[in-house]
Amino acid sequence: MNGKLYIVATPIGNLEDITYRAVRILSEVDYILAEDTRVTGVLLARYEIQTPQKRYDAHASEKTHDMVLEDLAAGKKIALVSDAGTPCISDPGVLLVKKVREAGLSIEAIPGVSAITTAFSIAGIEGNQFIFRGFIPHKKGRETFFKAITEDVEIPHMFYESVHRIEKTLESLAEHLDETRTVTVARELTKMHEEVVQGTPEEVRDHYKNNPTTVRGEFVVIVS
């Protein structure tokens, strides 16, 4: 029996950003584990994929993990997707992958889009290196986070930010960082309102203050 868990990257906006292989695997597996079945349903409908879905999110229970392990051991092929981009990159799936590895079962990556690599590819930041910091801590650890990026000037820092906190974060960056630093904000990548705003910490903060209608969507922030 050759069961296998496929970790499948899906688009971060534009539904055309998916590989031929991902479409084939999503069509062929026994079922798809999806973070939100409605979100993934839109993608499946676009490619006329009929595969059934089951929910797998950040709150997945022990029972769900056991079910997946049993199905893999019984020879089933299962795909894991998140709402957007690559699963396990600031998204659910890490625990499942860990358990599947520990059980000695097969896992295969079906690579594709991630917001982090997409943003870096159009930021024009030299040096071929970055530190990916995931999401900024909300409360505890927030000050330490800003202190760390203030002190560590060698390698660009990249992180994800949500629409609810982007203004607060840009304000904190303007407070902590001097004008020798560059802040890049990549918003709504691959979508209709994709834009990149780049400047000193104060310039970028002021840009969003002066253009409040653009404080919408999803953001990747780079401090270089």
Is 190 among the residues that bind ligand SAM (CB under 6 A)? yes
How many C-beta atoms surround the C-beta of residue 101 within 10 A? 12
Q: Does 92 bind ligand SAM (CB under 6 A)?
A: no
29, 33, 115, 177: which one contacts ligand SAM (CB under 6 A)? Answer: 115
The contact mask relative to ligand SAM for 202-221 (x = CB under 6 A, - = no) is ----------------xxx-
91 forms part of the interface with ligand SAM (CB under 6 A): yes
Neighbours of 206 (CB within 10 A): 14
77-81 and 31-34 beta bridge pairing: parallel
Whether 158 and 133 have beta carbons less than 8 Å apart is answered as yes
- Distance between CA atoms of residues 90 and 82, nearest Å: 10
Strand duo 157-161 + 219-223: pairing: antiparallel
Q: Is position 114 an interface residue for ligand SAM (rule: CB under 6 A)? A: yes
The answer to whether the CB of 49 falls within 8 A of the CB of 126 is no
Strand-pair category, 31-34 with 131-135: unpaired
191 binds ligand SAM (CB under 6 A): yes
- Pick between residue 118 and residue 182 the one whose CB is nearest to ligand SAM: 118
Q: Please say which residue, 162 or 211, places its beta carbon nearer to ligand SAM.
A: 162
Contact letters for ligand SAM, residues 25-64 (x by CB under 6 A): ----------------------------------------
d(CA 151, CA 102): 38
10 Å Cβ neighbour count for 144?
9
Stretch near ligand SAM under the rule CB under 6 A, chosen from 39-47, 70-78, 98-106, 114-122:
114-122
Question: Given the rule CB under 6 A, which residues bind ligand SAM?
Answer: 12-13, 82, 84-86, 89-91, 114-116, 160-162, 186-191, 218-220
